[in-house]
Amino acid sequence: MTIAPADRAAWYPAAPSSAVTEGHATPTVLLGEGVALFRTDGVAAATGADRRALAVTERYDHVWVCPGTPDRALFAIPEAAMPGRRAVPCGSIHVRCSPLRAVENFLDIAHFPFIHTGILGEEPHTEVNRYDVRIDDDLDEVWARNITFHQPQASVSAEGALDVRYEYRVPAPTTAILYKTCPARPAEWDVIAIFVQPVSEETCIAHPWMTMFDDATPHADMVAFQQTIFLQDRSILENQIPARLPLDPGMEVPTQADLTSIAYRRWLKRRGHAHGAQLVAA
Amino acid sequence: MTPVLHDWVLDAGCYRVRLLASLLGADLDLRSVDVHPGDALRSEAFLLLNPAGTLPVMEVDGSVLTDGPACLTWLAATHDAGWLGDPSPGGRAALQHWLGVSHELAATLGAARPMDMLGASGDPRPLRLAGRGHLRRLDAALARGRWDGRAFLLGDRPTIADVACFPDVALAGDCGMSLDPYPSIRLWMRAVRGLPGFVPMPGIHPLHEASPFPEDARGSGADAARGTAA
Ligand SMILES: [Fe+2]
């Protein structure tokens, strides 16, 4: 399989930091190619199939690898450095779906009342308000802003239903970040990200990660909350047709809820990202 | 005293206990265990509680139950013994049979699931193959029962046998196994999901007439809105 140059130049999560330990190699797969991860004197490193050293950076409790020559630094999540926040890596979940499908699902609000019933949504509150989506040319990222959604249980610490404010950000082809109202500190955002490791065009490993202000909730409950949400999506992700994400917009009139997905697809196409995508109409 | 369940949302064995408690209207004090990624089952504190390092663990009246069917038996016996089935010799034997089958389902389909879902070490293929044999026999037994007018494993009412076997069967899709070839299993699952007090878990959807079937929700975003699949 040939991999497009743009795909090689991007950063991908390759493992949670905790899985890469001193003294032995951790094997994994990125874009269909074997990668070995190491840690020496605390510093993470990676080699490709031909033992070539790969670009590595370690941020947000994960080891990130660029299989080619990186065309930019790994995106920043400034909130990660804010004092008082807790970073919570939520595990590594294997999914038989295109890595791009996993990101697209994460960006979709319309499914909340049906799939995350009683947690992230509930009927009859199924309306998605008018919100702003744009491809930020300076950052080369997709941003969706001014989303409001009614949620019965927005997070572990939420007491009762809330109208929650949302912003979505796609800073790399297989990473999406969600900013949502922090119940404990309404002026701050809870930050929930999905770092998707592209194993092949139709399989991926999702590493959900979050950083929030919450001193009260036990760690295991925070992990369980995020795993509940993500595993509710897994069986649906595994049944999507077509398996790869079509990048050519059709003739349909999109609904509000689709705007982020459409911008994401357009942005991927503009970047020349092909791995996990379907470039010709089925 | 309210029983304490050491719990993990993604664990099928813990779900059995949560499900029966909900069906019985029994209270449980849930304590989350960070099994993945925290590896808490191998922590010293947990091994002190259950040296086998497995879930579920239920603490009741000073004793620690570490076996799923044992937890179900305790809950049923303290709340509604009807869930233990007919107390005749034949009824008791049938209950033990299905509780034994539930252990085998957990050891095959249940063991394959974390390998497929979380990359746990091991080869899921022989486990799926063995699990398929269990599904065939379960489907045949349920079909025979239905001809005799029984919707559930031990008769026309649900028992802990159904609750014990249900989760690993209903989660078969998580390890890539389709339940399409087993019509009687599908009808039985529908009956279980329709019980008053039924609660779902991630991977097992509630039976809600207003909810879409997962297959209808495929292609979130633009594809779903377009109403076309491919
Ligand atoms: Fe979702």
Q: What is the DSSP string of chain A?
A: ----HHHHTS-EEEEEGGG--BTS-EEEEETTEEEEEEEETTEEEEE-TTS-EEEEEEETTEEEEESS--SSPPPP-GGGG-TT-EEEE---EEESS-HHHHHHHHH--TTHHHHSBTTTB-TT-------EEEEETTTTEEEEEEEEEEES-SSTT--S-EEEEEEEEEEETTEEEEEEE-SS-TTSEEEEEEEEEEEETTEEEEEEEEEE--SSS-HHHHHHHHHHHHHHHHHHHTT-SSSSEE-S--SS---GGGHHHHHHHHHHHHHT--TTEE-S--
- Ligand 1 centre from A180 Cα, in Å? 15
Q: What share of chain B is helix, strand, coil (3-state, %, to 5)?
A: 55, 10, 35
Residues of chain B contacting A108 with CB distance shorter than 8 Å:
220-221
Residues of chain B contacting A109 with CB distance shorter than 8 Å:
none
Residues of chain B contacting A96 with CB distance shorter than 8 Å:
176
Query: How many other C-beta atoms are found inside a 10 Å radius of the C-beta of residue B125?
Result: 10
- Please state the domain extents for chain B: 4-81, 82-196
pLDDT tens over chain A, length 282 residues: 679 999 999 999 999 999 999 999 999 999 999 999 999 999 999 999 889 999 999 999 999 999 999 999 999 999 999 999 999 999 999 999 999 999 999 999 888 888 898 888 888 888 888 889 999 999 999 999 999 988 898 888 888 888 889 999 999 999 999 999 888 788 899 999 999 999 999 999 999 999 999 989 999 999 999 999 999 999 889 988 888 998 876 655 566 668 899 999 999 999 999 999 998 765
Nearest CA of chain B to the CA of A256: how many Å? 10
Q: Does A245 touch chain B (CB under 8 A)?
A: no
Residues of chain A contacting B173 with CB distance shorter than 8 Å:
235, 238
Q: Does A110 touch chain B (CB under 8 A)?
A: yes
Q: Does A228 touch chain B (CB under 8 A)?
A: yes
- Ligand 1 centre from A163 Cα, in Å? 18
pLDDT for residue A159: 85
pTM, two decimals, is 0.92
pLDDT for residue A250: 64
pLDDT for residue B219: 42
What is the ipTM metric for this complex? 0.90
Class of domain B4-81: alpha beta
* B43 pLDDT tier (thresholds 50, 70, 90): very high
Residues of chain B contacting A242 with CB distance shorter than 8 Å:
230
Nearest CA of chain A to the CA of B148: how many Å? 34
- Ligand 1 centre from A116 Cα, in Å? 7
Of A70, A97, A68, A116, the C-alpha closest to A231 is A116
Record: contact B117-A241, CB cut-off 8 A:
no
Q: Which of A220, A228, A257 sits opposite B33 (nearest CB)?
A: A220
Domains of chain A: 5-66 (2.20.25.680), 81-278 (3.90.380.10)
Residues of chain A contacting B119 with CB distance shorter than 8 Å:
92, 94, 205
Q: Which of A16, A230, A239 sits opposite B37 (nearest CB)?
A: A16
Q: Which of A90, A96, A242 sits opposite B230 (nearest CB)?
A: A242
- Ligand 1 centre from A111 Cα, in Å? 7
pLDDT for residue A184: 79
Q: Which of B116, B214, B229 sits opposite A236 (nearest CB)?
A: B214
The topology under which CATH files domain B82-196 is Glutathione S-transferase Yfyf (Class Pi); Chain A, domain 2 (1.20.1050)
